[in-house]
Chain A
Amino acid sequence: MNKTSTKSTPGSEYLIDEFAPALKRGPQWLRKRRRVLRQEFNSTPLPHRGLHTWRYTNPNKFLIKHDTVLDTAFGNGYNAVEKVELTHLEQGHLSGLVTDHGGQEIKFHGLEELSEKGIVVTTLSEAVSRHQEIVERYLYQLVNGKTGKFEAMNGALFNDGIFIHVPNGQTVEKPLHLLHEAGRENSAHFHRVLIVVGKNAELTVIDEYGGGASDIDQGVSYTNSAVEIFGSEESRVRYVLLQRQAAAAHLYLTHRARIERGATMLTIPLSFGASTSKQNFGVTLNGEGAESKMYGLLFGSGHQHFDNHTLHHHVAGRTTSNIDFKVALRDRAVSAYTGLIRIEKGAKACEAYQENRNLLLNKGVKAETIPELEILNEDVKCSHGATIGPIDPLSVFYLTSRGIPQNEAVQMIVSGFAESTLKQIPENLKERITDSVAQRLEDI
């Protein structure tokens, strides 16, 4: 039995060394910020398990040893997905494709049309010098040391990342696909995505996370990602996250968006992969008339552990938000969901809705749900709700009584459960997502 034991050391911490190579990357202003974030990481205690956002996940899983940071051995199976998406690009389903091998090698495909329109899609390492004014203004604004310890870790150590800027009035009609590959066993990958969308501009981004360690007996891979999105007045942004990392991958991801007056934001988190993932999605509605919708879908199997948070923060009045987060679990999978709607005192006439449904497909799975409201004024319309339960046996009985085999009946019911999210997904992803759901329903 080739298994390595790891002793639990609650409260133990790694410190980022002052000579860590990542701290020397970028121009002087960036190096200075990296050093500040390093200090914030080192001085912030490890989150206590009593905190409601850390009740269900051990924070030690997201600490790494420094000597593993620069591992660049990448997992298998990545080329296959890259080929599929290159074909989609050739067929005209995508406006561009970016392939990111652990921040070490980032390639751009088919972006000529976008650059003619003045739309910038480049690496963060290049953007910090070529688009310094924008990057310096926006980088670290939404995800920084105040967000949390692991966000500070990312800010100090990120290898590289992707910068997208859509100027005022420009439209990216088809999705722009970002494909990130994590390293293999005992590797760590830190990267960021910074998206700035101008006034009355439009963008759809697919942010896909694949690769990572596949055999937990050989060790785990670690990805720490930060996504910052700024939607200017009247902009329209759609952000799709597809998480399909391998079976021994650990992922920590923080997404934050801020949208201004009249802007709309659609966020679609799709989670299928990784051994342990902690994902945090948040949108701040910062101008009157702003609207944010989130449609999440998570399907866990095996021993997967998911911990998701959502935040809708209404800072301005007459803003609207809606969350529909769906979870299906089988085998021994575990999911925890915490969703907060916060409405500030001055934000009158807001509407906010939140729903989290959990479908338990067998005994032994576990789902936790904590929907929360923090409403600081009386002039609002809000509701939230959560359900956890197995498939209704009467529904299965109805279908089987019409000659449909039991396993097909269950598959039909789960597909129906996921349908309202699946119909929001861009065309090029539909087939792969439907296949992912179908794979998890095999042998059920």
Chain B
Amino acid sequence: MAEFGKVASVKDVPEGSMKAFEIGYHRFVLCHISSGIFAVADECSHDSAPISDGELRGEEIICPRHGARFNVKDGSVKAPPALVPIDTYETKVEGDDIYVLLD
């Protein structure tokens, strides 16, 4: 059953940065942008690269391998060669703690 789990404190992921986590079977990256903290799967849909090794630029995360770009808010593709969106995870912030919804 899906439930929220605490994964980090806000201070662990300062605004403009991202950080990868692995919990159970899920590997995701927390991205702290000006409009909030979002979580997306840490795997490029094009070639399975860990996108947390790439770059966070504004609302977009850039894959280090071939430069595919994804919007961290909804996982949508913003630049090829990826064609398929990446998975997103619901997040919430309570106090200083960041929670992510995982099954």
Contact = CB atoms under 8 A, between A and B. Distances in A.
A421 B47 CA distance: 29
A319 B37 CA distance: 58
Interface stretch (A1-9, A180-188, A308-316, A386-394): A1-9
B58 to A, nearest CB: 22
A4 B48 contact: no
Interface string B23-47: 1110100000000000000100001
Given A5-B21, A8-B19, A8-B21, 4 more contacts: A1-B6, A6-B23, A216-B25, A217-B24
A7 B20 contact: yes
Interface of B: 3-8, 19-25, 27, 42, 47-50, 52-53, 65, 102
A3 B7 CA distance: 9
Interface stretch (A48-56, A106-114, A137-145, A164-172): A48-56
A275 B20 contact: no
Interface residues of A, number: 22
A31 interface: no
A312 B14 CA distance: 49
A303 interface: yes
Main secondary structure of the interface of B (DSSP, over half): strand
Contacts of B48: 55-56, 336, 366, 368
Contacts of A275: 25
B53 A49 contact: yes
Nearest to A55: B48
A-B pairs with lowest CB-CB distance, top 10: A8-B20, A303-B25, A1-B5, A216-B24, A6-B22, A56-B48, A3-B5, A5-B7, A5-B23, A3-B23
Given A49-B53, A55-B47, A8 B65 contact: no
B65 A50 contact: yes
Contacts of B20: 7-8, 10
A6 B8 CA distance: 10
A387 B25 CA distance: 27
Contacts of B42: 8
A203 B8 CA distance: 54
Contacts of B3: 1
A58 interface: yes
Nearest to A275: B25
B53 A6 contact: no
Contacts of A56: 48
A300 B42 CA distance: 21
A51 B7 CA distance: 30
Contact of B27 (A8, A49, A336, A368): A8
Interface in A1-42: 1, 3-8, 10
Nearest to A9: B20
Most chain A CB neighbours (cut-off 10 Å) among B4, B25, B42: B25
Contacts of B4: 1
Interface in A319-342: 332, 336
Contacts of B22: 5-8
A208 to B, nearest CB: 25
